[in-house]
Structure 1
C-alpha cells in the first residue's frame, strides 16, 4: 500500500483533529502518501481530496472540531454514491481509507468494506455509543464540559433553592448523562436504558425536602426525552419551582482533553498500522487500556451497552 485517505464524517467531536494528525504523520513516517478528504462522504463523492504534508496537520492537535470539515451525505447512502466515492479514490491511487466518526459514519465504512475497499474506522463521537470500545474520541472532553456546567448551575440552584433539570446530549445512549451524574454529584439521572424511573426521581426530591434539602440537580439524557417536558412534569408533581437548561452543542466544541488527544493519537496510528498490514474492514478501539481491532461489520450488529453498575452507584451516592 502506497496511498491512503482519511476523512471525518457525521457530528464533530473534540479530538478528531488529533486523530487526523496521527493518521497523516504516522502514514508519512512509514513512507505513505496521505490524502485528506474534505467534507466527509459528500466530499469523497465530489472528489474534494487533497494530498496532506507534515505541515498540513501542524498546530491542530489542540483544536476542537475537524480541520477536514464534515457533513452528512444522503447520496452516499445509495449504492451509486458509494461507488462514486470509491472511483474517486481509485483515480488518485488511494488504496485504503480511515474513517473517523460515529455510528452513521461506520455504516458508510461498512458499505465501502463490503464493496471490497479496505477501510478502517476510528470511533469519534461524544455519545460513546460505539460497541467494541470502552471510550470514543470526544467523550471525555464533552463529559468535562457537562461537569463544568453542572458545577456552575449548582451554585445558582443552591442560592435560589431551586430544582434544576439539565438536558445533555448522547443520542440514544445514556453514557454522557450517567458519567456526568456520578462525577458531578447529581441527585438523579435519567437515561434511555432506565427511562421508566421518573417516579423514583420524584421520591428522591420528596425525601430530600423531608430532610431539609431545597435544591436538586437532575440530569436527563436527550434519548429519554425533552428536558423541558421533564421540568414541567416535576413542577406538576411537586409544586416546586423548576428551571431547565439544555446544554446543546456546547458539548461538542472546545479544546480536547489530554485523554482525548492521547486516545485519538493511539487509535489513528493503529488504523494506519492495520492498513499497512493489509487489513481492512476493521474498527479500532480501546478496551482495558489496550488498543484493539474488531471486524467493523460484526461491531455494527452489536448493541451498545452502558455500564449500568454506574447507574446503581449514582443512586447509592445521591441518597
Structure 2
C-alpha cells in the first residue's frame, strides 16, 4: 500500500440513512488500523468550506454502530456549487493536512465530489448512503434494508386497522425516481397493489384490480404507492378517484414520510457499512480515486463515480411478476 496518504477526511452529505454512523465508524477504525489519521468533517460540504473539522480516533466512534442518523450531521450547500466555494473548502483541507476524502451520500454528494476531484485532483472515494437504493454500481445502498423493514412494520400495523374497519389504505413510501422500497416492502407486506414510477398501472386498471379483490372476498386492501408514481399528481388524488369510482370502500391515506429514514440500522446495513468503510479507506491507500464502493454479488467492487451518477438502477422484473401473482 502507498505511504503517501497520512490523513483522510470523512463526511456525510444529502439525506441521512440508517447505517451512516456504522460507515463513519468503519472509516475511522480502518484508518486507525493502518496508522492513518482521520478527520471528521461536520455538515457535509458546508462544513468543509468552514473548516468544521474534528480529529477522530477509534474511541471517538464507540457505541455508534447501532444508532440512526449521522453523528457528523448533514447539510446541502449551494455555495459549494460555486468555484469560489470549492476553493474555500480546498484551502481548509490543505491547511488541516487532509490528503484524501471519503464521501458518504448519494448522487448529489458524488457529483460534488467529482467536480472537486477534477478541479483539485483531490483523491476521493464514495460510499453510497441512501434509503432509495437508486445508485448504479451496487446491489444495495446503506440504509435501504432498514427502510424497507420500517415500511413493512408500518404496513403490518396499518393492515390491522384496515381489516377491522373494512378500509382501503393508500400507503405512500419514499421513492421519487425509483420504486425499490415500494416494490420490496409491498411484496413483503402482502399489499394488494404496488404503484411505482417504472410501471404505469393506470387509474382504470387500478380500479379493475381493486374490484377483482373485492369480488374475491377481500373486505380491505393495502395499496403501496411510491411518491414518484405517475398515475396521479399525488396519493390524495388517487384517493379522490377511488372515492368517486368505488364508493363501497372507506378510503384512507397514510404517508410514512421521514420515519423511513430513522431508526437503528438493521444487521445487514451495519455489516454492509462496515465492509464499505474498509474498502473505501484501503482503496485510497492503494492510490485509487474517483470511485464508489459497491456490493455486487456479495463482493466489494469499485465503480467510477461518473458511472454511479449517470447510470440507472434497475427494478427487479422477477419481483414485479411475483407481485402480480401474489395479488391474485
Partner of 2:214: 209
Q: SS of 1:193's equivalent?
A: coil
The answer to whether the Cα contact below 8 Å between 1:122 and 1:283 also exists between their aligned partners in 2 is yes
Q: Deviations over 1:183-242 (max 9, x none)?
A: 111010000111343332211110111122111100000112522221112212212220
The equivalences for 1:66-77 within 5 A come to: 66-77=70-81
> Is 1:294 matched with 2:298?
no
> Is 1:11 matched with 2:15?
yes
> Is 1:120 matched with 2:125?
yes
Cα distance between partner residues in 2 of 1:196 and 1:158:
25
The equivalences for 1:101-116 within 5 A come to: 101-115=105-119, 116=121
Q: SS of 1:194's equivalent?
A: coil
Q: How large is the RMSD of aligned CA atoms in angstroms?
A: 1.1
The answer to whether the Cα contact below 8 Å between 1:167 and 1:226 also exists between their aligned partners in 2 is no
Partner of 2:243: 235
Partner of 1:274: 283
- Scaled by the length of structure 2, the TM-score of the pair is 0.95
Q: SS of 2:140's equivalent?
A: coil
- Scaled by the length of structure 1, the TM-score of the pair is 0.98
The answer to whether the Cα contact below 8 Å between 1:6 and 1:99 also exists between their aligned partners in 2 is yes
> Is 1:191 matched with 2:196?
yes
The answer to whether the Cα contact below 8 Å between 1:190 and 1:197 also exists between their aligned partners in 2 is no
User: Which of 146, 153, 159 is matched with 2:158 structurally?
Assistant: 153
* CA displacement at 1:171 relative to structure 2: 2.3
Cα distance between partner residues in 2 of 1:195 and 1:17:
37
Cα distance between partner residues in 2 of 1:191 and 1:291:
29
Give 5+ residue unaligned stretches, structure 2. none
The equivalences for 1:27-176 within 5 A come to: 27-115=31-119, 116-176=121-181
The answer to whether the Cα contact below 8 Å between 1:227 and 1:245 also exists between their aligned partners in 2 is no
Cα distance between partner residues in 2 of 1:85 and 1:155:
52
Cα distance between partner residues in 2 of 1:244 and 1:18:
34
Cα distance between partner residues in 1 of 2:218 and 2:202:
21
Partner of 1:310: 319
Segment of structure 1 superposing worse, 242-251 or 82-91: 82-91
